[in-house]
Amino acid sequence: MKTTRRALIATTIAAPALAQAPWTPTRPIRFVVPFPAGGATDVVARVLGERLQDALGQPVVVENRTGASGNIGVENVVRSPADGTALLMGTTGTLTVNPHLNAALGFDPLRDLAPISMAFTTDHVLIVNPQVPAQTAQEFLALVRARPGALSYGSAGSGSSTHTVPELFKLAAKVEITHVPYRGSAPALNDVVAGNVQMMLDQIPSAIGQIQGGRVRALAVSGARRSPLLPDVPTFAEIGLPDAQATSWGAVMAPAGTPAPIVLRFNAAIREALAQPPVRERLAAAGAEGVSSTPEELAAFLREESQKWARVVREARITVN
């Protein structure tokens, strides 16, 4: 059965946490985030880290190991002992996109890491400069189909989610929109506001302020359902593009070979943490939705995501310098 975001959320609500597990850590735990501090990925790791520390009785130290589109942090955990002292907050890009962009990584996240649990999701929103003559997603599609290649979109850089998600959108909609890469989401968003590029498929937490301020117009969201932050904005499925559905996410991983009792103990602690309303509220404040899973559900989800993004990378001819 295909693993969906809805199924993962249902698991979060319905499945009981594992009550007893024999393993207990005896040393501090490193929780590696492959991106700088302050973003949604980092915030979720720190919130979960606090709860894991309380549940497991050992310090959980978040380490931001950045560089190479997240590959440096991932490799650090891949090369760590499989003894419960190292965790990774993996993401869509680091686990299921980057391996298809760089054949010389020297490691395979799906082979060299052990799934523990999903942690969070965030959706993307299609935004345009207010000067774009399209008030709805259908009008925007008509515009880009009438003027192939004339409009451009900004991204945080080649291979980022703000690059791969628009390329998936282009494939599903059968449209041509020119990619303009930037050094991060913020400058790309600023140029949408300025009108130097016409659109972006940014993560909702990043774009919500500009949307609410009227500096960009929101036309559609990429998730399976409408965002509570943008209840009047339709999903891609609602505008006739179900194949464009995409969600950015984070998942907790450990080095491959980590014994099952350790994986299950971490999974139980993460499930318990994400079931707590204060935790979910803190994640929501960062624009993230807490979502847990079993290790098996996560493994199946990662395989599906890897296949999807491999196709996008191949068909959209995405490369990185």
pLDDT for position 10: 45
pLDDT for position 5: 52
Question: What's 125's DSSP letter?
Answer: E
- Residue 198's φ and ψ, nearest 5 degrees, are -90, -25
Quick check: 300 and 292 in contact, CB under 8 A?
Answer: no
Q: Which amino acid is at 130?
A: P
- Residue 203's φ and ψ, nearest 5 degrees, are -70, 140
For residue 25, the number of C-alpha atoms closer than 13 Å in the C-beta half-sphere is: 26
Enumerate the CATH 3.40.190.150 domain ranges in the chain, comma separated: 5-121+247-315
Three-state secondary structure call for residue 108: coil
Q: Which two tokens stand for residue 96?
A: 């299921």
How far apart are the C-alpha atoms of 286 and 288, rounded to whole Å? Answer: 6
Enumerate the CATH 3.40.190.10 domain ranges in the chain, comma separated: 123-244
pLDDT for position 285: 81
For the 123-244 domain, the top CATH level (class) is alpha beta
| C-alpha closest to that of 126 among 93, 166, 156, 80 | 166
User: Burial letters for 262-294: b for 16+ Cβ neighbours within 10 Å, e otherwise?
Assistant: bbbbbbbbbbbbbbeeebbebbeebbbbbbbbb
CA dist list (Å): 41 to 32, 91, 252, 280: 10, 8, 11, 14
CA dist list (Å): 293 to 41, 86, 207, 271, 309: 17, 19, 28, 8, 21
Q: Helical H runs in 79-136?
A: 92, 98-101, 109-112
CA dist list (Å): 272 to 203, 268, 275, 276: 27, 6, 5, 7
pLDDT for position 13: 44
10-residue averages of pLDDT along the chain (321 residues): 48 47 87 87 93 96 91 96 97 93 91 98 96 96 96 89 94 96 87 97 90 97 92 96 94 98 97 96 87 98 95 88 61
CA dist list (Å): 10 to 7, 16, 34, 71, 289: 5, 11, 28, 31, 13
Three-state secondary structure call for residue 112: helix
Q: Which two tokens stand for residue 89?
A: 């907050």
What is the H or E stretch that residue 273 is in?
helix 260-274
For the 5-121+247-315 domain, the top CATH level (class) is alpha beta
Quick check: 94 and 34 in contact, CB under 8 A?
Answer: yes
pLDDT for position 2: 45
pLDDT for position 19: 47
pLDDT for position 321: 61
pLDDT for position 12: 47
Residue tagged 């978040």 (tokens): 62
- Say what the pTM is: 0.81
Beta bridge partners of 31: 62, 87
